[in-house]
A and B are shown apart, each in its own frame.
Chain A
Amino acid sequence: MSVNIMLPTPHKIIDIIRETGNEYTFRIETNAKVKHGQFFQVSLPKVGEAPISVSAMGDGWVELTIRKVGKVTNEIFNLKPGDKIFMRGPYGNSFPVDDFKGKDLVVIAGGTGVSPVRSLLKYFYEHPAEIHSLHLIAGFKDEKSILFKEDLSNFRKRFNTIYTLDKDKIEGFEVGFVTEHIKKIPFDSFENYNVVIVGPPVMMHFAALECLKNGVPEGKIWLSFERKMSCGVGKCGHCKINETYVCLEGPVFNYTKAKNLLD
């Protein structure tokens, strides 16, 4: 009998980092080979499954940053280090990291959207020689919602960063939506570059339009989609848009493809 693609395996939680009141990062033991942008189907038996992006990875572990929103995520928040969590995956495609290497990279992330690009950012933070320049615009709703504070302050050292809050004015943060800051990116000075946009659908939509307005060619824009998913492996049909299965061909899409994904 072939392998059961629905079969989750138990993994030990190594550490739990409280990012905000309702977003925690779980460091979980696994030797799975993960690429930047992929996700796992995370589950608790008798509670349910949920797709969660990998927000960081290391030797023998991955980090998942989870927002507490419902049945499964509520229950996950009751877990303690040493407890077991069930996973299958990783699933989905990833950011074309090799394509990004040696070029300029712009990352525009909103809210929990930072989480699926965090591992990519950490990679270039740790391997600064592999990237020509990295501009990061990260936006959050308010001070309470800021994720990955330590990473963000590290990134300031090696990347060109613009951090922004929707309304609040605090030290080190601009005010306004991420879209309002895109014009500050010196696209003209780049020789060869890519733009990664992740966040809620509306934010991605307007950020992409703003990039296009600033002369970014469609083919240089990459987005990470979120859709309802039940299986993660192209069987359940929930994530399908046109002929495309977000769980298989996504969640990362080039804009030339993404703009044709009509829902």
Chain B
Amino acid sequence: MGYCVSIKRMNEILKELQKEYKIYAPVRFEKRGRYSDTDLIRYAEINSIEDVVYDEKSDFSPKEVIYPITQALFYFTEYEYMESKIDDKKILIFARPCDINGFRRLDTIFLKNGGTEDIYYKRLREKVKFILMECKEGGWDSCFCVSMGSNKTDDYSLAVRFEDDNILVEIKDDEFTNLFGDEREVEFTPEFVTSNPTKVNIPEIDSYELLKKIYDLDMWKSYNSRCISCGACTAVCITCSCFTTLDVTYTENGKVGERRRVHASCMHEDFTIMAGGLSFRKTAGERMRFRTLHKIYDYKLRFKDEHMCVGCGRCDERCPELISFAATINRLYDEVKKLKKAETTKDIK
């Protein structure tokens, strides 16, 4: 069922929803961008529908809402420790199809991998309902959701299209029907992007022999001088889930403190460093290879259904060194094609 809702009414409805929900959406932080006089768009709680930045791609993904960058796990006092607590409000997130599909990847890591559930993720994830935000036609320049098959979803409670004075709303979740009961009914279901300007070809890696050759490709070395290992690409990624735990004390005497986790990046030099200084993947190129293969090869090998990358393109947009992940995938595809061709000609000989 669809409704046409005025902005004023939408704000009243949001107010009503706020009694039970924290509502998150991409929000503009003016002049907080990386460069002077540029804005930063990231997820934050909204107070009115006008806060929602619907016509641009957000710099950061909505993962931070339920997988905070810094998250306390336990609090310690001198003799006791206790699990960190959360608010009991439910959560509504304005999200694009790629991001909703991205959350499924996070679910896989946090709720399925190793056959265990991470309660810190779960307790927030359980509270989430999605409001699907329609994308503009074709998406944005760096989007390649269609190539990754993540351009569509039906995992949402509400779907919205922003028009000049009105918002079209589709309601899939009965919980919300009453709120919209008095609005003008219209035919509306969201449209999904069916083609992006950016396209990627995912290489088919079907043997360890091929994988070994991929590891040795020269293309990775080109990133040694290009990539500054800043980790911006993983920080913005909807599907990057890595973290490091650490303990801290609050006071000089060290009696109270917490165990927390913070996001980590496999692009950082110290991601694999062990006590004693031994580390793996010492060069930026090796780390780029690791990230690339995680996103478009080994995650799927492990979990079968889908690749980790959903093609949101944020890593492309955010890389300060103008390294395009889409271009990296396509470069790999070409290299793999060459490797396969060399293999078949060898067979014929």
Contacts and interface: CB of A to CB of B under 8 A. Distances in A.
Partners in one complex: yes
Interface of A: 1-7, 43-50, 69-70, 73, 200-201, 226-228, 230-231, 233-238, 240-245, 247-248, 260, 262-263
Interface residues of B, number: 53
B83 A7 contact: yes
Contacts of A236: 242-245, 261, 264
Nearest to B212: A262
Contact of A69 (B215, B246, B276): B276
A235 B247 CA distance: 18
A240 B242 CA distance: 10
Contact of A237 (B215, B246, B266, B302): B266
B264 A233 contact: no
Contacts of B248: 46
A50 B274 CA distance: 10
B109 to A, nearest CB: 6
A50 B83 CA distance: 20
A45 B294 contact: no
B35 interface: no
B110 A235 contact: yes
Nearest to A1: B119
Q: Chain B interface secondary structure, helix, strand, loop or mixed?
A: mixed
B76 interface: yes
Given A228-B273, A242-B293, A5 B259 contact: no
B74 interface: yes
A225 B242 CA distance: 20
B114 A235 contact: yes
B247 A6 contact: no
Given A48-B247, A235-B114, A236-B245, 14 more contacts: A1-B119, A46-B76, A46-B256, A46-B257, A47-B247, A50-B275, A235-B109, A237-B241, A238-B244, A243-B298, A243-B302, A247-B114, A260-B208, A260-B211
A45 B247 contact: yes
Contacts of B281: 263
A257 to B, nearest CB: 10
Contacts of A43: 247, 259
B272 interface: yes
Nearest to B76: A45
Contacts of B83: 4, 7
